Amino acid sequence: MLNWNDITIEKLQLINQVDTNNPIERTAQIVSILKELPYEHVETWTLDELRKVDLTFLERIPKSPLKFKFKHQGKRYRLVKNAQEMNAHHFIELQELSKKDVIEVLPEIIACLSYRVNIFGRRVKDDYEVKVEAYKSLPFVKFYTYALFFSTLFPKLLDATLTYLKEKEKEVQTHLDGLHS
């Protein structure tokens, strides 16, 4: 029986791209994606065979506790909890990603909002592009909650950054005014 634990981020992205109004064709395409079977194989099934695949779990929002540490492909990672843990270029990248469909860019979002750690929990160098590719196979259900956390947190981060930059601008302007007089 299929459930949310069977859905990777990449599978959800593929499901999100299914573009048909025909409910039978849509179901066949989703079954093909979830069971990792060629569509040509699934489209030969009878309607009874197709109906036996229970996809009702897709109608319910997945539930998973929010965890900030995870292992993937033998590597340890942590998700950021606040802006101080982020790299500046990732913050800038998130501004662009926030304008796009969250499901489509979820691996990129998680790559921006995560960092690799060693066995002792200390940050180690990692590669953004490698993370993005690897994160496509992450289980969606574990990162859905974090995506919601991110969507709530990010606007607050932008406001805090804007306030900080305005304060710095005032300081620089005051300093420049002092130099000119």
Residue range 90-142, pLDDT digits in tens: 777 877 887 888 788 889 988 888 899 999 989 999 888 999 999 999 888 87
Q: What is the pTM of this model?
A: 0.70
Q: Are residues 129 and 175 in the same domain?
A: yes
Read off the pLDDT of residues 4-30 as tens digits, 9 standing for 90 and up: 888 898 998 999 899 989 999 999 999
Q: Are residues 41 and 94 in the same domain?
A: no
Q: Are residues 155 and 87 in the same domain?
A: yes
Choose the final residue of a domain: 40, 59, 78.
59
Q: Which one, of 69, 107, 86, lies nearest residue 154 by Cα? A: 86
Q: Are residues 126 and 176 in the same domain?
A: yes
Q: Are residues 118 and 45 in the same domain?
A: no
Contact 115, 126 (CB under 8 A): yes
H or E, element range at 79:
strand 75-79
Radius of gyration, CA atoms only, the chain: 22
Q: Which one, of 116, 120, 140, lies nearest residue 130 by Cα? A: 116
Choose the final residue of a domain: 31, 59, 87.
59
In a domain, 154, yes or no: yes
Residue ranges making up the domain that contains 21: 4-59
Local confidence band at 77 (pLDDT 50, 70, 90 cut-offs): very high
Q: Which one, of 143, 126, 129, 112, lies nearest residue 13 by Cα? A: 143
State how many domains the chain has: 2
pLDDT at 29: 95
In a domain, 168, yes or no: yes
Local confidence band at 157 (pLDDT 50, 70, 90 cut-offs): low
**What is the rounded CA–CA span in Å between residue 107 and residue 113?**
10
In a domain, 175, yes or no: yes
Residue matched to tokens 């620089």: 172
Degrees to nearest 5, angle at CA 143 with 23 and 51: 25
Q: Are residues 44 and 75 in the same domain?
A: no
Q: Are residues 128 and 78 in the same domain?
A: yes
In a domain, 64, yes or no: no
Long-range contacts at 119-124 (CB < 8 A, ≥ 24 apart): 119/76, 121/76, 121/78
Contact 137, 9 (CB under 8 A): yes
In a domain, 76, yes or no: yes
pLDDT at 156: 64
